[in-house]
Amino acid sequence: MSLRRFVDKVKPSFEEGGKLHIFLAGFEAIETFFFVPNQVTKGRVHIKDANDMKRSLIIVLIAMVPALLFGIWNTGFHHFQALGIEAGFWEMVWFGFLKILPIIIVSYVVGLGIEIAFAQMRNEEVAEGYFVSGMLIPLVMPADVPLWMVAVATVFAVVIGKEVFGGTGMNILNPALVARAFLFFAYPSHMSGDKVWIAGLSDGTGIVDGYSGATILGQAASNTSNFLNGLGEAYTSMDMFLGTIPGSIGETSTLAILIGAAILILTGVASWKVIFSVFAGGAIMGLILNLFAVNEFMALPFWEHLLLGGFAFGAVFMATDPVTATQTEKGKWIYGFLIGFLAILIRVLNPAYPEGVMMAILLMNVFAPLIDYYIVEANIKKRLKRAKVVANQ
């Protein structure tokens, strides 16, 4: 294998004492991207499962592809709709592709650059965590987000959200949500409102008269019950499910997200307990609000809540991040449930911001260790009790 021979030839210059040693982490990242290393077991356990971190996280990336592809099409679709231009399928896809690709590139280049630099500084291998975060960040951005903002948010997310805690596996908050939250609080006008969700609408040239880019949640927050698209036609629940509505790039299509969820659950990479309980929590909160509805938003059918905004995306791709979720299996039920529950609560009852998923997940990220703490304490008490029972016999 000539590629292998080439790698073996250049490897020594990256190793300790080599000329290119300061690029070791980057070299290793690239080498292990191509080749699973030849490392062998040393201790008393002589065999290892064929699975590794790269594979697990690449599965998550694959699971995001349907949402990404839909987002690409949807970006083009809404753009041309806003311009009042009849466009073909591929035209929409091409437009969306050109719009979204730079966001992805910025996210990966900036994020991986920082990761590699930190890995080199710490003399560690580059961890694969950013495979996933690097795609999550673009998918939770509005299509019209300026690229420099993506870059700034990525720097903030990777450095403050992750590396200050010690890197992949050590962070408390989900880095992609940190990026989103950072932008939301630092540049609110670019992350909410009626214009940012549709490519070209902020700019405003050539837009059809009276076209509105308001999201359904934005409309719901102003207490109407007939949700209209930009052209003034009514949305159906099917639109919400399929995702032909405005929103962040990857979040609109519940169907595409559910395909991703199926991939994650079938491969066992993400915890189905978390996904299930987020949806359950959201449905129950929605039902409670329905019961005590005093306005239109509270009366929004509970199941439509699950189709709207970032709910499904958050449940499937954000809440399931094993690093920031609870680590005990029992805890996952509680953690997921509270995310869903709080997301809808915040969504409906807070006056400022018509979306609660981001806040709910970040909040539960912070509380996850506490949930684990009580579950582990219970285990400890059980063990102590067992010891006492024996002692009293």
Partner 1 sequence: MAEVIKIKKGLDIKMNGQAELIYVKAPRAKTYAIKPGDWHGLTPKIIPKLCDEVKVGTPIFYDKYHPEIKFCSPVSGILSSINRGERRRIIEVVVEDNGKDTAETFLQGDPSELKREQIVENLLNSGLWPTIKQRPYSTIAKTDGQPKSIFISAFDTSPLAPDFDFLLKDSEEDFQWGVNALKRLTEGKVHLNLDGRYPSVRTLSNIKGVEINRFSGPHPAGNVGVQIYNLDPINKGDVVWVVQPQDVVAIGRLFKTGKYDPSVVVALTGARVEKPQYYKTIRGTEVAPLLEKQLKEGTNRVISGNVLNGTSIDAGTGYVGFLDSQITVITEGNYYELFGWILPGFKKMSVSRSFASTWLTPNRKFDMDTNYHGGERAFVMTGEYEKVLPMDIYPMQLLKAILVNDIDKMEQLGIYELDEEDMALCEFVCTSKTPVTKILREGLKAMRKEMED
Chain contacts with partner 1 (rule: CB under 8 A): 1, 3-4, 32, 34-41, 43-56, 58-59, 125, 127-129, 166-170, 266-269, 271, 322-323, 325-329, 332, 372, 376, 379-380, 382-384, 386-387, 390-391
Report the 3 state secondary structure along 279-292.
Answer: HHHHHHHHHHHHHC
CB of 182 to partner 1, least distance (A): 23
Looking at the Cβ atoms of 13 and 327, the one nearer to partner 1 is 327
Task: Give the integer Cα–Cα distance in Å for 303 and 43.
Answer: 52
Looking at the Cβ atoms of 116 and 198, the one nearer to partner 1 is 116
CB of 278 to partner 1, least distance (A): 16
Looking at the Cβ atoms of 167 and 354, the one nearer to partner 1 is 167
CB of 334 to partner 1, least distance (A): 14
Task: Give the integer Cα–Cα distance in Å for 82 and 213.
Answer: 8
Question: Would you give the DSSP letter of residue 310?
Answer: T
CB of 160 to partner 1, least distance (A): 18
Tokens of residue 333, six digits: 């039920």
Query: Which amino acid would we find at residue 16?
Result: E
Q: Which of 334, 284, 346 is nearest to 310 (CA)?
A: 346
CB of 336 to partner 1, least distance (A): 13
Looking at the Cβ atoms of 118 and 302, the one nearer to partner 1 is 118
Query: Which amino acid would we find at residue 162?
Result: K
Q: Using an 8 Å Cβ cutoff, are 264 and 63 in contact?
A: yes
**Residues paired with 228 in a beta bridge:** 234
Task: Give the integer Cα–Cα distance in Å for 30 and 19.
Answer: 18
CB of 261 to partner 1, least distance (A): 14
CB of 168 to partner 1, least distance (A): 6
Task: Give the integer Cα–Cα distance in Å for 102 and 26.
Answer: 22
Q: Quickly tell me which residue has 């998923």 as its tokens.
A: 357
**Residues paired with 234 in a beta bridge:** 228
Looking at the Cβ atoms of 40 and 294, the one nearer to partner 1 is 40
Q: Using an 8 Å Cβ cutoff, are 234 and 110 in contact?
A: no
Looking at the Cβ atoms of 21 and 383, the one nearer to partner 1 is 383
Looking at the Cβ atoms of 153 and 323, the one nearer to partner 1 is 323
Q: Which of 2, 40, 179 is nearest to 108 (CA)?
A: 179
Task: Give the integer Cα–Cα distance in Å for 285 and 300.
Answer: 12
Radius of gyration in angstroms for the set of CA atoms belonging to the chain, rounded to a whole number: 23
CB of 382 to partner 1, least distance (A): 7
Task: Give the integer Cα–Cα distance in Å for 102 and 154.
Answer: 14
Looking at the Cβ atoms of 53 and 255, the one nearer to partner 1 is 53
